């Protein structure tokens, strides 16, 4: 499996507050919509995602509500990545409509039950840099 990017994704009911916080902490900026926002660092690398979760309840670590964060692995070849994830013990939670589509994602659970996504068709780092330069 060739991973082209790793992105930590936070659930949040208030996307602007959460993505703005991380953009400020990282000295970066935000692109996205009302469902998902991408936070870029000072080198215009996509490093954090914020996923809209309208019923989000903040975690109360260590003894309260569980943490709500997952890892996105962006891959070049989704069918190959899927096969490897399953062979390593992942469990498919939400399949994509079509692994052969130009872009998409599938949701899995790792052996301990933690969710993660395999995504494909996202812009590469250079395309993102061009997009960010155009949005300035």
40-50 residue pLDDT tens:
999 999 999 99
pTM above 0.85, yes or no: no
Angstrom distance (rounded) from CA 107 to CA 115: 7
Which residues are registered as beta bridge partners of 109? 91, 115
- Lowest mean pLDDT segment, chosen from 20-34, 74-88, 112-126: 112-126
If one counts the domains in the chain, the total is 1
Q: Structural domain of residue 124, as residue ranges?
A: 3-134
Torsion angle of C-alpha atoms 7, 8, 11, 15, degrees rounded to 10: -60
SS3 134: helix
Determine the longest span between alpha carbons in the chain, in angstroms.
45
In this prediction, residue 25 has a pLDDT band, given cuts at 50, 70 and 90, of: confident
85-114 residue pLDDT tens:
999 989 999 999 999 999 999 999 887 677
Residue 29 has pLDDT above 80, yes or no: yes
Asked if residue 11 lies in contact with residue 51, where contact means CB atoms within 8 angstroms, the answer is: yes
Q: Specify the higher pLDDT residue, 96 or 130.
A: 96
Which residues are registered as beta bridge partners of 95? none
Region of 35 (left: φ > 0; alpha: ψ -120 to 50; beta: rest) is alpha
DSSP β-ladder status, 69-75 and 3-12: antiparallel
| CATH number of the CATH domain containing 40 | 3.10.180.10
Residue 67 has pLDDT above 80, yes or no: no
pLDDT for 62 equals 77
**Alpha carbon of 112 to those of 7, 35, 41, 87, 94: distances in Å?**
20, 27, 30, 15, 17
Q: What residues contact 98, with CB distance under 8 A and at least 6 apart?
A: 104
């Amino acid at each position: 499996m060739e991973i082209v990017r790793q992105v930590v994704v936070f659930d949040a009911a208030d996307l602007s507050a959460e993505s703005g916080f991380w953009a400020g902490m990282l000295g970066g900026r935000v692109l996205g919509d009302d469902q998902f926002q991408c936070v870029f660092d000072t080198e215009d690398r996509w490093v954090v995602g914020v996923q809209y979760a309208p019923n989000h309840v903040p975690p109360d670590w260590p003894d309260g509500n569980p943490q709500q964060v997952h890892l996105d692995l962006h891959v070049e070849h989704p069918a190959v990545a899927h096969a490897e994830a399953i062979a390593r013990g992942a469990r498919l939670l939400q399949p994509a409509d079509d692994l052969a589509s130009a872009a998409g994602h599938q949701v899995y659970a790792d052996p301990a039950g933690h969710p993660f996504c395999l995504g494909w068709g996202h812009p590469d780092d250079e395309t993102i840099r061009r997009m960010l330069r155009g949005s300035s």
